[in-house]
Amino acid sequence: MSIRKIGTTVVAAALFCLGTLGIAQTSRHVVVHAGHLLDVKTGKLLTDQTLVIEDGRIISTGATTEAKIPPDAVRVDLPNATVLPGLIDAHTHLTMEPRFGYDRLAISVPREALIGAKNARATLLAGFTTVRNVGASGFSDVALRDAINAGDVPGPRMLVSGPALSITGGHCDNNMLPSEYHAVSDGVADGIAGVQHKVRENIKYGADLIKVCATGGVLSLGDNPQASQYTLEEMKAIVADAHRLGRKVAAHAHGAEGIRWAAEAGVDSIEHGSYIDDAGIAAMKEHGTYLVPTLYLGDWMIDNAGLTRLPPPLLAKAKDVIPAARKNIAHAFASGVKVALGTDAAVYPHGMNGHEFAVMVRLGLTPLQAIQAGTVNAADLLGWSGKVGSLEPGAWADMVAVDGDPVKDVTTLERVKLVMKGGEVVKNEYGK
């Protein structure tokens, strides 16, 4: 048996064992009674609402007095809670942890898959029932997605990118080992022919979307976050092939020029956007590009720099980028760019994703706008409107419940008390 087959067998066996933590089969009919239900599209807080679920999808919602309840339904009664759609994180790295130094070189692809199983569960229990995973080695995120879909392990619904595309020596390449190792990340591709091949290869091996590193980054050696990496022509080639093959494109982009080029090339979202300027804002608004700003990580990284042993060159970049990002993204919010919530979870521990809402509000969004960024807006970005991000007939029965009114206090979303995915309660601190 080859080494690759042995590795795959180990991962499959381990995921099978982890499956004992999974979720029982969904009952055919489930009825949820909500004392309060937040309509995230309008911001209205509705009272005494009932949702009827069949085979994991919502078939009706409305006033309890008008609900037609199947006689065999399992009932979930939440008379004092506020129910809203399951939350969506459009920028995660479930197979990664907060490791920023050379110790991350010791993590194998099979180990990443197992790390992902742990983090998927933590993310789901935090109320994030859908995520977009934008970057993972060796297609470990594809394996994790498939294991969750098969019911082997608990976790959110996932759209995954596989390895992020990078220029040689760019932010998403392996720049930590000396030349004699000839280390190259599996997403590296240069030139138009090279990036076309890599897009097609990623799709071949299971990618739902394409992630591209359009500029340098913070948590990488030898690159400048403000410097563009791919040329405009290469970016256009990436987007053209991805869109023609039915995949959206997410562009890691800190620098102003890279943001503008990525928007002009037609990417679907800009991740981070730290040095976004008026020209980039105009290009994004013209092309309908979403901003996924990943803000809370700045608070966590600075507060925990000693704990994570962040190498000095990376800490220096973080101290430059984070204040600039706060100022520029607040300006982008005020300018009316479309916003979807993303956290970059893995830069800080998974399961803390809900802290993102409060930072978005601190930088200028209303609480409702922040909630919409993590529900209906993110669903639109993912191409899953009507499936996730709202509680309406035909949508998957993914929802969370909290105490109080999240429109008045968005930090309630850091303390989710109940989580349902596909009509199955996976967390309930209210009891039966």
List residues with catalytic annotation.
211, 344
Place of tokens 């990118």: 161
Strand 87-92 to 157-160 pairing: unpaired
Q: Which of 225, 215, 216, 230 is nearest to 322 (CA)?
A: 225
Integer Cα distance of 178 and 347 in angstroms: 25
Continuous segment of H or E residues that includes residue 356: helix 356-362
Residues in the chain: 432
Integer Cα distance of 338 and 50 in angstroms: 31
Q: Report yes or no: 104 and 358 within 8 Å, Cβ to Cβ.
A: no
SS3 234: helix
Instruction: Return the beta strands (E) in 314-389 as ranges.
Output: 338-339
Integer Cα distance of 361 and 64 in angstroms: 33
Categorise residue 422: left if φ over 0, alpha if ψ from -120 to 50, beta otherwise: left
Q: Report yes or no: 79 and 118 within 8 Å, Cβ to Cβ.
A: no
Structure tokens at 30: 């489930």
Q: Tell me, what amino acid is at 383?
A: G
Place of tokens 């990340």: 185
- Any residues with CB less than 8 A from the CB of 42 and at least 6 apart, and which? none
Integer Cα distance of 128 and 130 in angstroms: 6
Biggest CA–CA distance in the chain, Å, is 72
How many CA atoms does the CB half-sphere of 87 hold within 13 Å? 35
Integer Cα distance of 158 and 131 in angstroms: 5
Structure tokens at 214: 């359009």
Structure tokens at 80: 């004092």
Burial of 108 (0-12, 13-18, 19+ CB in 10 A): middle
Integer Cα distance of 346 and 91 in angstroms: 10
